[in-house]
Amino acid sequence: MRVACWQAFPEAGGLERFLERLRTAARQAADGGAELLVTPEMSVGGYPLTTSALAEARGPVDGTQSAAIAAIAREAGISLVHGWPESEGGTVYNSAMITSPDGRLLAYRKAHLFGAGERARFVPGHDGVVQTVLGGLRVGLLICYDVEFPEAVRAHAVAGTELLLVPTALARPWEFVARTLVPARAFESQLYIAYTNWIGGGQGREFCGLTTVAAPDGTRLTVEGGGEELLFADIEPGVIAAARAATTYLGDRRPELYGEDG
């Protein structure tokens, strides 16, 4: 499977402008041979997380906003991952969703909220592993800070995830996360991680880019420039199998020592 990661500038303009930009990025990704396009964290609503932008972007999993994104996936013939403030009753989650061209939806709610700002706006999710199958690969979702917890990534590996999609909003001075921690997570849990970030910004928050696809064999592709860009990467099942055979972390685990059930 070829995946494209959209490293994007935060931009005002509301939902309609985002949908316009997403439509362009989806077409470009599909033209580049990608079957899946991953956007940054909270790509609908964007950053900074203003009250007005979040209010406009809020919606349920199966709302009109999701229908508009599903139409873009169908038109471009590509699966899409977007983030948005999901509303359910009076509760708001920081969520991400995979939308396939045939209309299948899979949503995940961020479990590890970062800082007082997120905790004031969102309620944490309670699902550890959310997966689906795309292009013959078992694909999972985490969001930003989630990937910094090794337990969260390892749970995916144990459950069979081969490609972990991580929309993020990583700001300076935390470049270490993209450069070192994400590749380490991919290597130690023997899966691919597609870590997709914003670039630029303002109002006291500068996103560092460094969108990365890290492989289980220790290699990675990354966007080192400071601009908006699509990063393309080919996800190879053979690389996963070879890495798991060469570095047998998953088979050598002793979960009875870690307080786990299995």
Residues catalogued as catalytic: 41, 110, 144
Report the distance separating Cα 201 and Cα 203, nearest Å. Answer: 7
Give 3-state DSSP helix, strand, coil % of the chain, rounded to 5. Answer: 35, 30, 35
- Ramachandran category for residue 33: left, alpha or beta (phi over 0 → left; psi -120 to 50 → alpha): left
**Torsion of Cα atoms, 65 then 107 then 80 then 117, to 10°:** 80
Note the helical H segments in the chain: 14-31, 51-57, 64-76, 115-121, 150-158, 175-176, 182-189, 237-246, 249-252
**Tokens representing residue 87 in the block:** 């509303």
